[in-house]
Amino acid sequence: MTSSTNQSLSTPSLSSQAIAQVNPLPRLLMGPGPINADPRVLRAMSAQLLGQFDPQFRGFMKQAMVMYREVFETRNEWTLIVDGTARSAIEAVMASLIEPGERVLVASYGRFGQLKTEIARRCGADVRVVETEWGTVFTPEQIEAALREHSPKLLAVCSGDTSTTMLQPLAEVGKLCHRYGALLQVDATASLAGAALPVDAWEIDAVTAGLQKCLAGPSGAAPITLNDAAAKIIYRRRHIEQGLQTADYVAGAGRIIGSNYFDLAMVMDYWSDKALNHHTEATTMLYGAHECARIFIEEGRESVYRRHRIAGASMLAGLEGMGLRVFGDKTNKMPNVTGAWIPEGVSGERVRSAMLNDFNIEIGTSFGPLHGRIWRFGNMGYNARQDAVLLTLAALETVLSAEGHRFTRGAGVDAAWQVWREAQNQS
């Protein structure tokens, strides 16, 4: 063997930078998500690992199911955690409910309506889309007209779409869907635990979410709840994988679910008392999801919602106090994300860079037609706090002043602070 061959097979040396310890700067994440996780969640995630069938761990799974019923305001038996980011739960629901060729209607008012359209098409659905202008939401009349026209098996819609900062009213949508023979799937990734979403009262068939927004955790686990109607359809497609089948196994009458990992029938068997193996549960993420729900329940639903409303009102007042124009229909704005138009002559990316590099604060831009035209400011979960909002606005005042934006210095912070003072006086 030649020396050149020896060199080509040798292992390259690792630089000291390549093997450096993970030690990120302490950013304040005030964009549309993810946000800074509550320290209690991070501490819970540092607990020792357990085997997925350890009685202790099965107990934590059962506790999570009970607590997330409280978070979702539901009595649904099938309330559990899907391992993966919020998108994994959206796909699991669609893949498990929809057979190729069945009709799905997507009510799209932003980037994440487009995501659901993409996922439904990949599931082989006959996809129809109804759209409204970014920065607005659908009226019940628009939803009803679309249901009447398209006769879908499933309507998919966001509760809150962070790309446009809008919160879709849903109180009447479930009833409308059932009037026209459709199921309702709601993506509550960005709104669960930040705004009211009473699943049973609003007759929602399937809801999915994530930890990394108002639930104050990291991304990587997706809470989900399914009512009996959705569960019945999924269980009709139940097929146990070959290595787990017993002699008395009888497959479901429906078509096998196209994804193994996102097969909710098998995931439900795993979370049930059957404890039928599906995957190795993401132990650390389950700990985190468990703690997110526990913290929500400990603080109390109305207290959590009020904290998000006050933080959002404070952020909005502060931005307007700096002379910034808020994006979209303010009457239907999410309490936890606010969009603001980038002023003429101001470099949006330079402002975001200065906020990050000079102040360690992250804010966001948006997607598609809004990319580079608006900033998005989040105040959710652990960051729905007075100090986090005021620090963000104070830094933004400094950066905007350096950009030449004309406004009264201190007006934004003062306006935001006043919202908190008034809220404290009312409590």
Q: What number of CA atoms fall less than 13 Å from residue 314's CA on the CB side?
A: 32
Q: H or E segment at 424?
A: helix 411-426
- Contacts (Cβ under 8 Å, ≥6 apart) of 211: 41, 217, 218, 219, 220, 221, 222, 223, 288, 289, 292
Chain segment 48-70, per-residue pLDDT in tens: 999 999 999 999 999 999 999 99
CB 270 within 8 A of CB 383: no
Say what angle helices 86-97 and 111-122 make with each other, to 10 degrees.
40
Delimiting residues of CATH 3.90.1150.10 domain(s) in the chain: 301-426
For 42-56, b/e burial (b = at least 16 CB within 10 A) is eebbeeeebebeeee
For 341-363, b/e burial (b = at least 16 CB within 10 A) is bbbeebebeebbebbbeebebbb
Q: What number of CA atoms fall less than 13 Å from residue 127's CA on the CB side?
A: 20
Delimiting residues of CATH 3.40.640.10 domain(s) in the chain: 39-296
**Cα separation of 380 and 194, whole Å?**
7
CB 54 within 8 A of CB 229: no
Beta strand 154-158 pairing with 183-187: parallel
Residue 312 tokens read as 């959002």
pTM of the entire predicted model: 0.94
Q: Please name the fold of domain 301-426.
A: Aspartate Aminotransferase, domain 1 (3.90.1150)
Q: Taking the CB of residue 132, how many other CB atoms lie within 10 A of it? A: 18
Q: Taking the CB of residue 312, how many other CB atoms lie within 10 A of it? A: 26
3-state class percentages of the chain: helix first, strand second, coil last, to nearest 5: 45, 15, 40
Residue 352 tokens read as 């975001």
User: CA 43 → CA 49, 86, 340, distances in Å?
Assistant: 13, 22, 35
Q: Please name the fold of domain 39-296.
A: Aspartate Aminotransferase; domain 2 (3.40.640)
Give the 3-state DSSP-derived string for 168-198, with helices as H, strands as E and coil as C.
Answer: CCCCCHHHHHHHCCCEEEEECCCCECCECCC
- Per-residue pLDDT of the chain in tens (427 residues, 90 and over written 9): 454 445 555 566 677 777 888 899 999 999 999 999 999 999 999 999 999 999 999 999 999 999 999 999 999 999 999 999 999 999 999 999 999 999 999 999 999 999 999 999 999 999 999 999 999 999 999 999 999 999 999 999 999 999 999 999 999 999 999 999 999 999 999 999 999 999 999 999 999 999 999 999 999 999 999 999 999 999 999 999 998 898 889 999 999 999 999 999 999 999 999 998 889 999 999 999 999 999 999 999 999 999 999 999 999 999 999 999 999 999 999 999 999 999 999 999 999 999 999 999 999 999 999 999 999 999 999 999 999 999 999 999 999 999 999 999 999 999 999 999 999 999 7
- Contacts (Cβ under 8 Å, ≥6 apart) of 62: none
**Cα separation of 152 and 103, whole Å?**
5
The C-alpha angle 87, 54, 91, rounded to 5 degrees, equals 15
Q: What's the maximum distance between 2 C-alpha atoms anywhere in the chain?
A: 83
pLDDT of res. 1: 47
Q: Where are the beta strands (DSSP E) in 109-179?
A: 126-131, 154-158, 160-161, 166-167
CB 290 within 8 A of CB 217: no
Name the residue with tokens 């919602």.
Answer: 305
Q: Which among 28, 25, 67, 60 is positioned nearest to 45, based on CA atoms?
A: 60
Task: Give me the count of residues in the chain.
Answer: 427
pLDDT of res. 18: 75
**Cα separation of 250 and 271, whole Å?**
20
